[in-house]
Structure 1
Amino acid sequence: MVPGQEHVSDILIVGGSLAGLMTGLAMSRHGFSITLLERSSDIDRTGAALQVGDGLLEQLTGRRHASGMLAAGVQAWQSVYRGLRAAAEEAGILVLQNARVETTGQVEGHAWAMTSDNRRFEGAVLVGADGYQSVARRYVSPERPDAIFADYLAWVGFAEESALSVRFPPNLEFLGSGPYVLLGFPLTAADGSPERGRRRVGWGWYDAGHNAILRKTGAVEGSLVRHSLRPNDMPDELFEELAELARLHWPSPWREAILECIARRAVLGTPVVEYLPDRLVSGRICLVGDAAHVCTPMTGNGFATAADDALILARFLDAAALQAEPIAALKLYEASRLPEVRRLARSGQQVSKNFVRAAR
């Protein structure tokens, strides 16, 4: 597709991460042509662990899938992404990477998205699934387009079981010590194998005491989060401080997992963001996942809530509704979904306020 050329589909999804893929899969049950635009070309991104429900793909698509495509239980972000992406390819969804959407809009009869290289994409409906920095949200809620920094971050890392000299933890744990909270979780191997010796340990360490480094590096500007804190942004003194704090606050085996990641400089600092929506829809454009609502990952419900968004949207926007009354169908989606996601977002805000207050 050359710059300036138009591409038309039934459903146009902006954002090719988990929420976008799940929405595409849920819509695929209606036989729609679906185009999914993803700004990145990097499929090996780092994210926290996710609780995957049994039979999620079958719930989304209404049909059976290859065994092992997406396993139930606690899974690494990368494993979930790969499973959803494989299912999207099986469903015939067109996934275009390196398609950075800069603006969205609508005219009579369709919605559209323009990419940074001047490609135009159209759909009868546009779904914004482009995360907490959503471009589509700027159209839906122009008066309040930005998610807000929650005043703390999560240090995140993954250690290989084979690199640890301690017993592998059997279960997810949620721990508190002093001003900090730690989520630790066992994972399968990177390829999904549960074989002993190849598994991994993941951890997310919530911390309200290192916001200065976020502002110094430009990761946070004012109330807005610009990017995560990468290891190259972190001075040796910070790694040394985190190692000392880990020894002081966290028990085995999480302490050893954290120290192993610190020794490899394999730690990511993720500023926590929040967004309480006033609306989810404007005409033919709607929002799902973190584009629609953002809660602290402490609640552990972000992935499941995005899956519910996809399923409920597909319930209202079927083939008949797309042909006859797509705008009315999206209004029904909003009426059904908005009260619940506002409740979840408010609950997450309270969790964050309590954590930051206790940390200070």
Structure 2
Amino acid sequence: MPTAASGPTRSITSTSWDRPRRRAIVVGGSLAGLCAALALSASGWEVTILEQSTQPPAGMGMSIDVALLSAVTGLDMRALPVIETGFPATGWGLLRQALADAVERQPRIDLREGVRALAVVDGQTDVVVETNAGMHRAEFVVGADGYASTVRRLVSPEEPHAEYGGVVLWRGLVDESDIPGGFTTRDIGFAFRPAGTQMLATYVIPGARGELDPGHRRGVFISFDCSRDALLRRDGYVNGTVVKATVHGSGLSRTEIEDLHHETRQWPAPWGRAAAIAVRERAFIGTPIAEFLPSRLVRGRVAILGDAAHSVSPITGGGFHNGLLDVASLVSALDETPDVTRALRRYEEHRLAPVRALVTRSRAWSRSFVRSDPCG
């Protein structure tokens, strides 16, 4: 049986010119960044990944198109543990580890963790990334550094920040072993419904080590809450229209924990009881929705993709999927011409309209949700 990221499924792309060794930098070592590095490497590029974290988060759950993932990265990802919930679902941490393992096996990729990008300077023939560990130089730079992207400041200096959507997502994982009797067939499927004064999304993903058998899986809960604006602004998680940080359960007061615990009592079984455990143990996070509507994806020899290019609410179900489409389009454009700046312009021409449409839908939903005042 293949591993979750075994052997390449495609050879390095053949081109009509004699391509010398070429170097790219990917800023951001999360999912989109790792996929971009793997795809570029499979196409013949030497890639340096600059990732500020030394310990990636465990993550929550996510939808996944395994066929697209395999086609984009050049890896056989069919062994990635997935549960059908109405869409194929896996654990963020499971996918990140599979991609990181594949990167480690790839000699053309250098993953440098604990390196924070401070600024990007685009020159005539190359790009310099200034970091806390010195300067890095390459033929072009890909910004895959999330909703608070540093690279986006160069690409889009007139609008460098994602905008707060007015909703915070309380997110957590529950072990099936904490659910009396385990998950039913109905629990496994994705559901989105009112729960007290909030809206609640739930579904089931594989266990922490990829277990698929009953009793060892995990449940994902995401509560959409538009009643915490004062909290987010008071404690600096949101400043004006800019999302500054994720809320961690450990940073909330006892009163705030008790308030969220009370909310879980209004959730349907089995999610209320399970989420109450996560809240009581402060084993959850709060993510203020950050949405970024791009006017451009490229400037010179610098491009952005994934959440750096189009931050959206998870209700769209299209964030990572569109990040993969970004990577596919970018590498395809680079394969078509040795002129990097022309290739990046082609990438922007192909992807800008679709991602703007995605973010526009996300914004419309967020504004409609806040106006409907389900939290009031």
TM above 0.5: yes
**SS where residue 209 of structure 1 aligns?**
coil
Code of the aligned partner of 2:65: G
* Alignment partner of 2:351 out of 320, 337, 340: 337
Residue 348 of structure 1, aligned match among 337, 353, 362:
362
Counterpart CA distance in 2 for 1:61 and 1:18 is 11
Q: In the alignment, which residue of structure 2 is the partner of 1:27?
A: 40
Partner of 2:50: 37
Q: Does 1:77 align with 2:89?
A: no
Shift in Å at residue 101 of structure 1?
0.5
The alignment yields a C-alpha RMSD, in angstroms, of 1.8
1:102-141 correspondence to structure 2 within 5 Å: 102-117=118-133, 119-141=134-156
Shift of 1:86: 1.4
Do the aligned partners of 1:69 and 1:86 also contact (CA within 8 Å) in 2? no
Preserved CA contact (<8 Å) 1:70 1:83: no
**1:358 Cα deviation (Å)?**
0.9
Match of 2:240 among 222, 226, 241: 222
Answer yes or no: is the 8 Å Cα contact 2:37–2:47 preserved in 1. yes
Counterpart secondary structure, 2:247? coil
For the residues of structure 2 that align with 1:163 and 1:177, how far apart are their CA atoms? 20
Q: 1:14 aligned to 2:27?
A: yes
Write the distance in 1 (CA, Å) between the matches of 2:79 and 2:37: 20
What CA distance in whole angstroms lies between the structure 2 residues aligned with 1:40 and 1:238? 29
2:14: which partner in 1? none
Structure 1: how far apart are the matches of 2:172 and 2:73? Answer: 32
Q: Distance between the aligned counterparts of 1:280 and 1:357, measured in 2?
A: 31
How far apart, in 2, do the equivalents of 1:70 and 1:282 lie?
38
1:264 aligns with 2:281: yes
Could you tell me which amino acid in structure 1 is paired with residue 33 of structure 2?
G
SS in 1 for 2:137: strand
Query: Which residue of 113, 135, 159 corresponds with 1:97?
Result: 113
TM-score (norm 2): 0.88
Residues paired across the two proteins, number = 346
Tell me which residue corresponds to 1:68: 79
Q: What is the aligned counterpart of 2:307 among 290, 294, 315?
A: 290
SS in 2 for 1:75: strand
3-state secondary structure, aligned to 1:55: helix
How far apart are the structure 1 equivalents of 2:51 and 2:199? 33
Which deviates more, 345-354 or 218-227? Answer: 218-227
- Which amino acid counterpart does residue 125 of structure 1 have in structure 2? F
Residue 67 of structure 2: aligned partner = 55
Distance, in Å, in 1 between the alignment partners of 2:174 and 2:49 is 32
> What is the SS of the residue equivalent to 1:316?
helix
The aligned counterpart of 1:200 is 218
Taking structure 1 as the reference length, what is the TM-score of the superposition?
0.92
Does structure 1 residue 165 correspond to structure 2 residue 180? yes
Which consecutive unaligned segments of at least 5 residues does structure 1 have? 1-7
Partner-residue secondary structure (3-state), 1:293: coil
What are the ranges of 5 or more consecutive residues in structure 2 without an aligned counterpart?
1-20
Q: Hey, what's the Cα distance between the residues in 2 that align with 1:30 and 1:267?
A: 39
Q: Contact 1:9–1:122 (CA<8 Å) still a contact in 2? A: no
**Counterpart residue number, 2:4:** none
Shift of 1:177: 3.8
SS class of match (1:315): helix
- Whether the 8 Å contact between 1:12 and 1:123 is mirrored in structure 2 is yes
Q: Do the aligned partners of 1:102 and 1:116 also contact (CA within 8 Å) in 2?
A: yes
Q: Distance in 1 between matches of 2:223 and 2:166?
A: 14
C-alpha deviation, 1:57, in angstroms: 4.1
Alpha-carbon offset, residue 176 of structure 1? 2.3
Q: How does 1:247-262 map to 2 (within 5 A)?
A: 247-248=265-266, 250-262=267-279
Match of 2:103 in 1: 88
Report % sequence identity. 32
TM-aligned CA deviation for residue 69 of structure 1: 5.0
Instruction: State the AA in 2 paired with 1:68.
Output: A
1:3 match = none
Among residues 321, 325, 331, which one is paired with 1:304 in the alignment?
321
My pick for the range that moved more, 33-42 or 54-63, is: 54-63
Contact kept, 8 Å, 1:228 with 1:269, in 2: the verdict is: yes
